[in-house]
Structure 1
Amino acid sequence: MSSMTVKTNRAARPLALFGTLLTLLFSACQKKDELPTPTASIDAVKGDMSTNAVGVTGPKTVCYVEVNNYNFNNVGKYSLSTGEPLFDIGIIFAANINYNTSTQRATLFFNTQVTNVLNNRATTIQPVQARGIKVLLSILGNHQGAGVSNFPSQAAAREFAQLLANAVNTYGLDGIDFDDEYADYGTNGTGQPNSSSFVYLVSALRELMPNKIISFYYYGPAASRLSYNGVTVGSKINYSWNAVYGTYSAPNVPGLAKANLGPAAVQITATSASTATSFATRTKTDGYGVYMTYDLPNTNSSTYLSGISNALYGKSTTYTP
């Protein structure tokens, strides 16, 4: 099933003309492309997967918020009946990889809505983090030919990774999420996906952010380019989850265990409550460590989310506006 069919809100994103541009060369440097010696693991970063970020035994619950439509701080308004936050990770959806045709450089772009969330973090992000919820920034293509899968060299990937790390540090975020959609590779004369690009990118980002979260929305060309020169993407990232809403299918990411994977993909505004609850039951029964949701609206969704939380944690969900 195509992304245009199953992720209509994601597909509807405009090519915004306003925002913050951070410039990156798709470098022409002839430096030899070599990956560092693979590390044994990043268990110290991944942490204890038996409990979620807020200390409740069970899978971690992840929530993407389409900030073009909804308020990000809604993530922090949902609690379990015993008071703990429902969500472990909230993801700002989404920043973009744009392409400057004059300089032939990729750029990190924040549209008006993302800029508003980041610049007003005291009211949009920090209250969420104050509850113990981790906040990530999702990185997405923007129909201009630039994406996570076509960096032409290790140097180019490193430079873009530096921009991402700078954004995390500037805005006090907890990590980066990668979504390899809507790049339209080849547009504007850009290259097609290659086998090294995504591995180079996550390797460089892990070096720059040794204690932050890196996640992968399992979709697009990057999903079939997860190993290069003996290094796996799974050895560098924390989590990956299924991306086709309304389906249950575990990502195949070498280097990640079940505790770091999410087979359930639920769109809150579209996936039926019975399906969402069924997927939660399966996630727990099958021993997976992540449950992924998308499209949290501004309206009270506690009844819908209670089906999920009761299955995952044996506790209902409450909403505090």
Structure 2
Amino acid sequence: MDTPVAAATKTGPLTNAYVEVNNHSITNVGKYVLTSSGANVFDICIVFAANINYDEQEKHAYLHFNTKVQETLDNAETTIKPLQAKGIKVLLSVLGNHQQVGIANFPDRQAATAFAAQLANAVTTYGLDGIDFDDEYADYPASGPGKPNAWSFPYLVKALREALPNKTVSLYFIGEAAKTLSYDGIVVGELLDYAWNPWYGSWEVPQVPGMSKAQLAPAAIDIQATSESTATSLAERTMTEGYGVYNTYNLPDNDVSNYLSSFTKPLYGSDARHTGGSEETPPPPTAS
């Protein structure tokens, strides 16, 4: 019997990849390795995105999957599990959907806990590694009972952490939820694993009390829009200032290993290599 070969490992920050599944496959996240060691370029893949919708008849929030998200989840054997087999965690992003409901305006603790149960069920059903919260596009009302409140996000995160004690929970640091990070003795940062800067092509440290530098990604790039020089400088700053995660968005289907090398060299001392697929056709970076 052959002796199992240990997966290649790397030292340095984690690299995160948000993938727009309406446009691209998450399987691309597993196609990049470091030329020096064969270790994965990406450590975390985030399926972007499920939605928090509102049921007008039942008067409560519910978790909704569009066609492409549902397809990605239903085909976990060929989409999610191959990434996990390589040691890459797969999270599900949860996003508002222009229905005046989101993760920051549950009417009470019971409602927040009920939605957390839906999230936990999705993680269990589809074999995911956790949940990423993104408080955009909720279109919260400015006044009235549906306006954002202080308790929703803390109650939600606490309930989810209790339901999924060993899974990953992260925060895209934006929106009303990012303003309400403690309530009734709950410190959200003590329950999260990671938080990332949402402004691509920039450096901004997420201000989350209770989290260490190792859990934060102040650098954020859009692979199809941020220039290589900016990607490099943000990676260099990540190393210099001792932060633990580098956030990327919009990984396409074509081979972009040359572009990825712009940040893997300062992060890991190695170029990136594509392990199969089309010829390299780098996305045109902007001058950001």
Q: TM-score, normalised by structure 2?
A: 0.91
> Which among 111, 123, 126 is matched to residue 168 of structure 1?
123
Cα offset for 1:270?
Answer: 0.4
Partners of 1:185 and 1:125 lie apart in 2 by: 32
2:266 matched residue in structure 1: 311
After TM superposition, list the pairs within 5 Å mapping 1:160-199 onto structure 2. Answer: 160-186=115-141, 191-199=146-154
Alignment of 1:226-305 (within 5 A): 226-305=181-260
The CA deviation at 1:297 is 0.5
- Among residues 159, 165, 170, which one is paired with 1:204 in the alignment? 159
Give the corresponding residue for 1:72: 26
State the one-letter code of the partner of 1:241: W
- Distance, in Å, in 2 between the alignment partners of 1:68 and 1:215 is 22
Q: Structure 1 residues 320, 207: CA separation in 2 closer, same or farther (over 3 Å shift)? A: same
The 1:83/1:190 distance shift into structure 2, 3 A limit, reads farther
Kindly indicate whether residue 110 of structure 2 is the aligned counterpart of residue 155 of structure 1.
yes
Residue type matched to 1:79 in 2? V
Aligned to 2:281: none
SS in 1 for 2:248: strand
In 1, distance between residues paired with 2:145 and 2:247? 32
Displacement of 1:55 in angstroms is: 3.5
Q: Which of 17, 29, 33 is the equivalent residue of 1:63?
A: 17
SS in 2 for 1:265: strand
Counterpart in the other structure of 1:122: 77
SS at match of 2:12: coil
- SS of the aligned residue for 2:247 comes to strand
1:103 is aligned to 2:37:
no
Q: Deviation of residue 146 (structure 1)?
A: 1.2
- Does the residue aligned with 2:262 lie in a helix, a strand or coil? helix
Distance 2:117 2:105 in 1: 17
Q: Deviations over 1:251-308 (max 9, x none)?
A: 0000001110000110000010110111001001100000000000011110010111
Paired residue secondary structure (2:61): strand
On the 8 A contact 1:146/1:190 being kept in 2, the answer is no
Output the TM-score relative to the length of structure 1: 0.82
Percent of aligned pairs with the same amino acid: 58
- Please tell me whether the aligned partners of residues 9 and 40 of structure 2 are also in contact (alpha carbons under 8 angstroms): no
* Secondary structure in structure 1 of the residue aligned to 2:51: strand
Moved over 2 A (4+): none
Letter in 1 for 2:135: D
Extract unaligned runs of 5+ from structure 1. Answer: 1-52
**Structure 2 residue ranges without an equivalent (≥5):** 1-6, 277-288
SS of 1:318's partner is: strand
CA apart distance, 1:186:
2.4
